[in-house]
A and B are shown apart, each in its own frame.
Chain A
């Protein structure tokens, strides 16, 4: 992965919110609080080899991360979804590790806002 790429797009996120920092802080806190559940849903789905559940959990995580322009994380979730669709669960599990890593970093950054 290109770790030089920013984890999320703070400028675009704030522009979209008309520089309303209060909203940014509120949704960042919500995302951080929700992240363990989003990740757990993905883990459970992959452990169960449940493609539908994996795609649903991936959709939720992407939908949440899109609000911050977290491009790298979204790409990783998409890759995980694609692997699940072809029932390539070893690849999906590998992408899950990447998702876990990026999500932890993103949460760490969002906590500092």
Chain B
């Protein structure tokens, strides 16, 4: 351990240097000039500082004040050497952040005992700091791992839903990105928009519970079939609800609300306006727009202009006007997303909602 000794009197400096040298694992770093000693302390990492009080230029009190100004040294042990009777000096040293005192002339027994105590204190400080650093790193890693697993769960759920759904993986990616852009444009918090990106792909997870002959039926559903089809919102909600993950909680709400309409004519509950959670209103725009502009076994892909017109015409009836306005305001980004996630001939492989954004 590094023990800095600052004393302008050569004999005292030599004595303390040799006493410190006698201690196991201790390296004395002596300075006859207090200014040089201070410079060293500010540039290095001492374990203990022993400083004389009465010195020319920078005295012991000023020395301690300067050392304590360095944030790294706020708990560095400092011993000040004073004559026994200098009580006012001792009080001042305590005020400046000195830790303990050594009497002059140096008494070997007292000197060694105090230096050992101070170094034991220093070792404990270091061990504690190392442990705190280690713990912080462990916590960071554990949290990162939980986040990764959470995302993986979401990705796997979305994949499972995809297996049952004729819609492609790129649809899921496009609508999730549209939803995120709408949220950002509406001035919602960035972390909410980010969570929307991860949660939106699960909006149709409830289709896992829809019978094949209805889900995969080409052409229009009968009213009875449509009633069963509508249940995918409730089923999705049941699958995802009460998760401890915020992203999955959000996904549950999206699954339940993404077929609600702003005028109250949607399903499953016929909610209207602000009674529909914002994530439901946003995803409704993103999902419908992408469905319209994609080809399906039972319909051709609409042109961009047709889909745009549809959103505008249904602004305030099907859709929240604020969400439509936000979507149209980021039109250039919508076009970029369409280019980035193009449908392939084969149904896309697993959707990866986390595309590294």
Residues of chain A lying within 8 A (CB to CB) of residue B11: 27, 30-31, 34, 63-64, 67
Separation of A22 and B17 alpha carbons in the complex (Å) = 13
Separation of A10 and B19 alpha carbons in the complex (Å) = 18
Contact of B14 among A20, A30, A59, A60 (CB under 8 A): A30
Closest to B110 in A: A16
Residues of chain B lying within 8 A (CB to CB) of residue A34: 9-11
User: Within 8 Å of chain B (Cβ to Cβ): is A56?
Assistant: yes
Closest to B54 in A: A59
With A56-B56, A66-B105 known to touch, is A26 a contact of B14 (CB < 8 Å)? yes
Contact of A33 among B8, B9, B10, B107 (CB under 8 A): B10
Separation of A56 and B56 alpha carbons in the complex (Å) = 8
1/0 per position for B44-61, CB-CB distance to A under 8 A? 000000000010100000
Separation of A89 and B54 alpha carbons in the complex (Å) = 24
User: Within 8 Å of chain B (Cβ to Cβ): is A23?
Assistant: yes
User: Within 8 Å of chain A (Cβ to Cβ): is B18?
Assistant: yes
Contact B14 A63 (CB under 8 A): no
User: Within 8 Å of chain A (Cβ to Cβ): is B149?
Assistant: no
Contact A26 B18 (CB under 8 A): yes
Contact B9 A63 (CB under 8 A): yes
Residues of chain B lying within 8 A (CB to CB) of residue A113: none
Contact A16 B107 (CB under 8 A): yes
Chain A residues within 8 Å of chain B by Cβ, number: 19
Distance to closest chain A CB from B325 (angstroms): 81
User: Within 8 Å of chain A (Cβ to Cβ): is B340?
Assistant: no
Contact B19 A63 (CB under 8 A): no
Chain A residues 1 to 42 lying within 8 A of chain B, measured CB to CB, are: 16-18, 20, 22-23, 26-27, 30-31, 33-34
Closest to A60 in B: B9
Residues of chain A lying within 8 A (CB to CB) of residue B12: 63-64, 67
Separation of A66 and B13 alpha carbons in the complex (Å) = 13
Closest to A32 in B: B11
Contact A23 B9 (CB under 8 A): no
Contact B54 A16 (CB under 8 A): no
Residues of chain B lying within 8 A (CB to CB) of residue A63: 9, 11-12, 104-105
Contact B105 A23 (CB under 8 A): no
Separation of A103 and B356 alpha carbons in the complex (Å) = 80
User: Within 8 Å of chain A (Cβ to Cβ): is B246?
Assistant: no
Residues of chain A lying within 8 A (CB to CB) of residue B104: 63, 66
Distance to closest chain B CB from A41 (angstroms): 10
Closest to A63 in B: B9
Contact A23 B15 (CB under 8 A): yes
1/0 per position for B101-128, CB-CB distance to A under 8 A? 0001111100000000000000000000
Query: What residues of chain B have their CB less than 8 Å away from a CB belonging to chain A?
Result: 8-15, 18-19, 22, 54, 56, 104-108
Could you write out 30 A-B pairs with CB less than 8 Å apart? A16-B107, A16-B108, A17-B108, A18-B108, A20-B18, A20-B22, A22-B18, A23-B18, A23-B19, A26-B14, A27-B11, A27-B14, A27-B15, A27-B18, A31-B11, A33-B10, A34-B10, A34-B11, A56-B54, A56-B56, A60-B8, A60-B9, A63-B11, A63-B12, A63-B104, A66-B104, A66-B105, A67-B11, A67-B15, A67-B106
